[in-house]
Structure formats: structure tokens, C-alpha cells
Amino acid sequence: MPIGDYDGPTPPKYGPETEPDWVQSRIAAEAGDYEKSIAYGLMHVGACLEIVGQRLSEISSALEGPAQPVDPDDPRRRRDEPH
């Protein structure tokens, strides 16, 4: 797959009256309205963190598996671990 191809879910569509938060942030900064720019920037970062949090939850759920029995003779086991 070439770099730049995206095989994930379709991103949400934005209505004609709105732009993504990062675009609004840039427009406000270029207009000199730095408070509005920071507010839109923070909304964008919050949205990104929400997506990352959901993805991390999916990844950690996939990595969790059944507990493995502890072998007391396994050389990889730390010696201070209980049996």
C-alpha cells in the first residue's frame, strides 16, 4: 500500500457552514484573533485525544488475553515475583 493511502473508516463529513477546528484555528490566527485561534486549537486537540483514547482502549482490549500460569522454574521470571 503506497504511503498516504487510508484504509480506515470514512471520516465524518462537514457541512458547508463549518470547517474542521484546525482550519478555524488557522483562519482566526491569520485574522489576528488569537483567543479564538487558541480555543479552536484546543477543541481540535481534545477531539484528537478522544480518538486516540478510543483507539488505545481497542488496542489494550485486543492485547489482553487469558492469564498464563506462572512457572516457578522459568529463568525469565523475576526472582522477587510470588509463585
Total domains in the chain come to 1
**Position 38 in a domain:** yes
**Position 82 in a domain:** no
For position 17, what pLDDT does the model report? 46
Q: Kindly report the pTM of this predicted structure.
A: 0.46
Is the torsion defined by CA of 54, 60, 63, 68 positive or negative? negative
**Position 2 in a domain:** no
Q: Is 70 helix (H, G, I), strand (E, B) or coil?
A: coil
Q: Under the phi-then-psi rule, with left for phi > 0, alpha for psi from -120 to 50, and beta for the rest, what region is 32?
A: left
**Position 71 in a domain:** no
**Position 14 in a domain:** no
Whether 25 contacts 37, CB under 8 Å? yes
On the question of pLDDT at 6 being above 60, the answer is no
**Position 74 in a domain:** no
Q: Angle at CA 42, nearest 5°, toward 36 and 43?
A: 90
Q: Which domain holds residue 53?
A: 21-61
**Position 50 in a domain:** yes
Report the C-alpha gap between 21 and 40 in whole angstroms: 5
**Position 35 in a domain:** yes
CA-based R_g, the chain, Å: 23
Confidence band, pLDDT 50/70/90 cuts, at residue 47: confident
Average pLDDT over residues 13-18: 50
Is the torsion defined by CA of 57, 63, 67, 71 positive or negative? negative
For position 35, what pLDDT does the model report? 92
Residue-wise pLDDT tens digits, 22-44: 788 888 889 999 998 899 888 88
Residue-wise pLDDT tens digits, 55-64: 888 888 778 7
